[in-house]
Structure formats: C-alpha cells, structure tokens
A and B are shown apart, each in its own frame.
Chain A
Amino acid sequence: MHRVLQQPFKTAVLILVWGWLLLLVLTPNLLVVGASVMTRDPGTFLSLPLNLDSYRQLFDPLYLDVFLNSLYMAGMTTVFCLLIGYPFAWALSGLGKQRQTLLIFLLIVPFWTNSLVRTYALKLLLATNGLINNALLGLGLIDEPLRMLYTEGAVVIGLVYLLLPFMILPLYSVFDDLRKELLMASHDLGAGKLSTFLHVTIPLTLPGVLAGVMLVLLPAMGLFFVADILGGSRNLLVGNVIKNQFLDARDWPFGAAASILLTVAMAVLLFAHRLSQRRLGDEARA
C-alpha cells in the first residue's frame, strides 16, 4: 500500500494499460474460445451443450480442403514475397545511406495508402478488358485476352502486392546490420562468395526471414476482401470462411474454431521465430 502511494503515477499507468488489454484483448479471446465449444443456435447464435463439433467440422474433408488451399495460397504469397524481397533488401542495403532513406520512404508510401483502393487498382490492370491485356494485344503478343481476374492467381498477385513491404522491411533491417561487419570478416577469412552466402548470410538473416514470413503468411490467410474483389466471391481464404460464419451463415462456433486455428498457426510461427533468435544468440556468444 505504501509503495502504491509512493508511485501513484506508475500504478495509474499500469492499471490503465492492463485494464485495456484484459478487457479488450484477453476477455474477447476467451469469449471466442468459449464460443468455439458451444452449439450453433439459429436464434441466439450460441447455446449449450458444450461440445467439440465445430473442431470436428474443421477436419471435415471439404473444409480441410479450404484450409489447405488457403494455406497453399498464403504459402505461395510468402514464397513470392521472399523471392522478390530477399534480393531487394540485399540490394537496398548496399546503396548509399541517403538513397536508402529515400527508397525506404518510397517503399512505405503504398503501405500508407488505402489497401482496398490498391486492390481495386490491380483490378484495372488484370481485367479481361484491362490494361495488361490491352497492352499485350496491342503489341501483338497474344491473340485472345488472358483471363486473369477472378482466378486464384489474381488473389496471390493481390496478396503479394499488399504484403511485400512487410517482407522487405524486416529483411532490410537484418541485412543492414549484417552487411558491414560479418560479411567482410568471413570474406577476409578466405571464404568464397557462395560459401559466405550459404554459411553466413542465410543463417544470420534467418530471424529476418521468419519475421517476414510471419508478417506475410498470417495476414495472407485472413485478408478476405482481396479474395472477394480479385477472386470472384468464392471461399478461397480462411478469412472468407470465418467472415461468412459470422456475417452470413451465422455459425458462430465454427467461425470461432476457424479463427482459433489461425491463432494456433500464429503461435507456431512466433515460437519458431523465438527459437531462431535464441539459436543465433547462442552462436554469437560461442
């Protein structure tokens, strides 16, 4: 009590932030867990008895297919982001400091622009009568317009476009640290370029890669509006399934269970990220 009085400011701040997080993060998430084990009710959304039916439903071959497909699309998105982002971050970190600042700024600008509007802009390009088809037809490269819009490919393109900066930024920050010190050292010790890349660069950038993967893979499964706009309103992503359960089909337990699946995926990725950081820390000490 004495200490509380001594530090009223500290106490007040802690109560405020803990209160906020408990009330608006922890409680709601517990509610979702609760909802996932209840029974669907057409009138009140949820009712007793408690059961695990909705989890069983998750493993119904049909929905399992949706999840696997969603994971596949998110995986493709992540792979493309990594393939584009890794060399990008490396090239960026090799430039002069002032240029780096400018280019990072240019990278963030789209991220600060409304994501719906950017998704819509892609539609202008990908549509059958869109600009890409018009350009290709005009150049005589194709005879028939390509059907790109409302395909899974279009959704992946949209996701890569929206999420690329989230892959590049963590990668850039590890490359930036790494570039000067370690590469030089290993080079001095006579290691070849390829060997430096395989044994030094890749392991040292692993935490950045994992951070990037985390920042891309999870949202890629949830961004339902990208699938709606570019994928033709089919249930292509887990996000679409979850949204439908809450805003259309009214099967809350199932929607809650699907969302818990995403949370579990996040936990696994967070764990992997921590592990890689710790291993790196150990190696640095050794």
Chain B
Amino acid sequence: MNRWLPKTYLTLVYVLLYLPILVLVVFSFNSSRTGYRWGGLSLQWYESLFNNHAMVQAMWNSLWLALTAATISTIIGALTALALHRYRFRGKRVLRGMLFVVMMSPEIVLAISLLALFLLVGLQLGFISLLLAHVTFCLPFVVITVMARLSGFDESLPEAARDLGASDFTMTRTVLIPVIMPALLAGWLLGFTLSLDDVVVSTFVSGPSYEILPLRIYSMVRVGLKPEVNALGTLLLVFSLAMLMLSQWILTRSKR
C-alpha cells in the first residue's frame, strides 16, 4: 500500500480536530466585537473577562470544587483499587461491575438520579451536592488508572514486606503507595479535568449559592457569539494542556 496514504489521512483528521480550537484561539485576540471579521490584535476580551466579578468568582468556585472532588475521589478510588487488587471478598465482581456501569452510564442518567436523592434527603443544592456528584463520576476513572498500574506490579514486594512482619496498613503505606504514586497523580489530574469540564451533571445538582464555570459559560454561549468566551476557552485550553503535559511527564518518568 502507498506509504503516504495513511500519513495524509492522519494529518487530515488532526487538522479537522484542531481547526475549531485554532479558530477559537485566534479569535480570542480579535478586537472586533461582531464575531467573524478580523479587526486587529487586542487583549480586551481577556481584560473584560478578569473584570467580570461573577466570572472570576465562578472560576475560583470551579477550581476549588475540582480540587476537592479530585482529591476525595483519588483517595477512595486508590483504596478501592488496592482492595480489588489485593483481597478476595464476596461481591468483588459486583463491585467491579458497578464501577464499570457508573463509568459507562450516560451522564444525564447519573444526574437525575442524584437530583432525586438530594431532594429526597433534603440536601440543599450547592457545593456539597456538586462535590458528592463529581466524586461519584470521577471515582471509576481513578480506580481504573490505579488498577492498571497495580496489574503490572511485582507481587513479591508486598509479600516480602509482610514476611518481615509489616501489618497491612504499614505495608500499604510504605510499599504500595510509592509504587502507585504516578497512577494516583494521573488519576487525580483526570478527575480534576473531568470535574472542571462537566456540564450535564452540574446543570442538575447545582444551586445559586455555588456557581461554577461551565454553567456560566453555558449561559454565555446560549446568548450568542461572545468574544469573552473565546478568551476563556483559550485560557482553559492552555490550562488543560499544562495539566495533561504534567500527567504525561509523571507517567513517563515513572516508567524509567
């Protein structure tokens, strides 16, 4: 087969994937207010973004939410992965199955079920409801990331530790945790991004007392073309690019 055909095809798909993003970045520096024409280079949209109180507040809220949700889901997810890896227990298959189902379920199904729960127990929609929801949908992703790391790991180490009289807890802390550290970080970063990006679940379980960025963006985008959205999108792109590079760097460094 022609050597160039696959390469040309790959390039074409990448161009299509990146074209909208490129347009967004370029237009974020466009001084023209009305959408599609180029009016010269300008940083005014970044400026008006940072002068927008509500927007900055929503940004902080989102970051704090993503931070806590990622941390909690990493802790619970890592412990779960360890339990699934190390122990035999009844219902292990069910547990695995349930995590898999959570990962696969359409977000909207998770969203309305959580909404029903929060209303039933009378939990006020706000930070706590968002946190519980975000941890729930991040959890399976952390478990998978950590499990993948554990499955490639030499079993003799923990056994040696136990032979030396270490308790389960000590063994976990001193032997296992360092080994799975890169996976923990990668899982944490994944959770952080998932939380920062979520629109569907947050639409249902958020309240006015805790406004987050995706919902702000949603109401802006629905109004029409807004240059501020371009600027915000560019910032988010740079931010997630940095996060992704960080996570890749951690993973590749640990392989050596």
Taking the complex as a whole, does A directly touch B, i.e. does some CB pair lie under 8 Å apart? yes
Q: How far is the CB of A83 from chain B (nearest CB, A)?
A: 11
Q: How far is the CB of B61 from chain A (nearest CB, A)?
A: 15
Which A residues are in CB contact (< 8 Å) with B104?
A: 214-215, 218, 266, 270
Q: How far is the CA of A10 from the CA of B197 in the complex (A)?
A: 33
Task: List residues 162-205 of chain B with CB under 8 A from any CB of chain A.
Answer: 167-169, 172, 193, 196-197, 199-200, 203-204
Which B residues are in CB contact (< 8 Å) with A242?
A: 108, 112
Task: Specify which of B120, B139, B203, B244 is in contact with A31 (CB 8 Å cutoff).
Answer: B120
Binds A, one of B49-57, B152-160, B225-233: B225-233
Which A residues are in CB contact (< 8 Å) with B119?
A: 45
Q: How far is the CB of B101 from chain A (nearest CB, A)?
A: 7
B interface SS class: helix
Q: Does B35 contact A (CB under 8 A)?
A: yes
Q: How far is the CA of A189 from the CA of B59 in the complex (A)?
A: 60
Query: Which residue of chain A has its CB nearest to the CB of B139?
Result: A20
Q: Does B132 contact A (CB under 8 A)?
A: yes
Task: Specify which of B21, B116, B136, B169 is in contact with A20 (CB 8 Å cutoff).
Answer: B136
Docked-complex contact B108 and A239, CB < 8 angstroms: yes
Q: How many A-B residue pairs have CB under 8 A?
A: 220
Docked-complex contact A113 and B116, CB < 8 angstroms: no
Q: Does B105 contact A (CB under 8 A)?
A: yes
Q: Does A229 contact B (CB under 8 A)?
A: yes
Q: How far is the CA of A125 from the CA of B20 in the complex (A)?
A: 7
Task: List residues 90-135 of chain A with CB under 8 A from any CB of chain B.
Answer: 90-92, 94, 103, 105-110, 112-125, 127, 129-131, 134
Docked-complex contact B244 and A108, CB < 8 angstroms: yes
Q: How far is the CB of B31 from chain A (nearest CB, A)?
A: 16
Q: How far is the CA of A88 from the CA of B6 in the complex (A)?
A: 8
Q: How far is the CA of A252 from the CA of B113 in the complex (A)?
A: 11
Q: How far is the CB of B208 from chain A (nearest CB, A)?
A: 14
Docked-complex contact B102 and A246, CB < 8 angstroms: no
Docked-complex contact A91 and B10, CB < 8 angstroms: yes
Docked-complex contact B108 and A262, CB < 8 angstroms: yes
Docked-complex contact A263 and B105, CB < 8 angstroms: yes
* Count of B interface residues, CB-CB < 8 Å: 77
Docked-complex contact A112 and B200, CB < 8 angstroms: no
Q: How far is the CA of A29 from the CA of B236 in the complex (A)?
A: 33
Which A residues are in CB contact (< 8 Å) with B229?
A: 117, 120
A-side interface size class: 35 or more
Q: Does A243 contact B (CB under 8 A)?
A: yes
Which B residues are in CB contact (< 8 Å) with A224?
A: 108, 200
Q: How far is the CA of A113 from the CA of B22 in the complex (A)?
A: 13
Task: List residues 187-209 of chain A with CB under 8 A from any CB of chain B.
Answer: none
Q: A114-B196, A223-B200 are in contact. Are A125 and B19 (CB under 8 A)?
A: yes
Q: Does B67 contact A (CB under 8 A)?
A: no
Q: How far is the CA of A84 from the CA of B105 in the complex (A)?
A: 24
Q: Does A150 contact B (CB under 8 A)?
A: no
Q: How far is the CA of A94 from the CA of B1 in the complex (A)?
A: 12
Docked-complex contact A266 and B95, CB < 8 angstroms: no
Task: List residues 220-256 of chain B with CB under 8 A from any CB of chain A.
Answer: 221-222, 225, 229, 232-233, 236-237, 240-241, 243-244, 248
Docked-complex contact B112 and A84, CB < 8 angstroms: no
Task: Specify which of B120, B172, B241 is in contact with A109 (CB 8 Å cutoff).
Answer: B241
Contact pattern, A 1-43, Cβ under 8 Å of B = 1, otherwise 0: 0000001111001101110110011111101100100000000
Task: Specify which of B19, B199, B248 is in contact with A225 (CB 8 Å cutoff).
Answer: B199
Task: Specify which of B14, B117, B196 is in contact with A28 (CB 8 Å cutoff).
Answer: B117
Which A residues are in CB contact (< 8 Å) with B244?
A: 105, 108-109, 112
Question: Can you name 17 extra interface pairs (CB under 8 A) apart from A21-B95, A28-B117, A224-B200?
Answer: A7-B87, A13-B83, A14-B83, A17-B80, A24-B132, A31-B116, A45-B119, A91-B6, A109-B240, A109-B244, A125-B23, A129-B36, A131-B36, A219-B106, A222-B108, A262-B108, A266-B101
The 7 A-B pairs with the shortest beta carbon distances in the complex, nearest first, are A28-B113, A91-B6, A117-B233, A121-B20, A222-B106, A112-B240, A28-B117
Instruction: Name A's B-contacting residues (CB within 8 A).
Output: 7-10, 13-14, 16-18, 20-21, 24-29, 31-32, 35, 45, 84, 87-88, 90-92, 94, 103, 105-110, 112-125, 127, 129-131, 134, 161, 164, 214-215, 218-219, 221-225, 228-229, 239, 242-243, 246-247, 252, 255-256, 259, 262-263, 266, 270
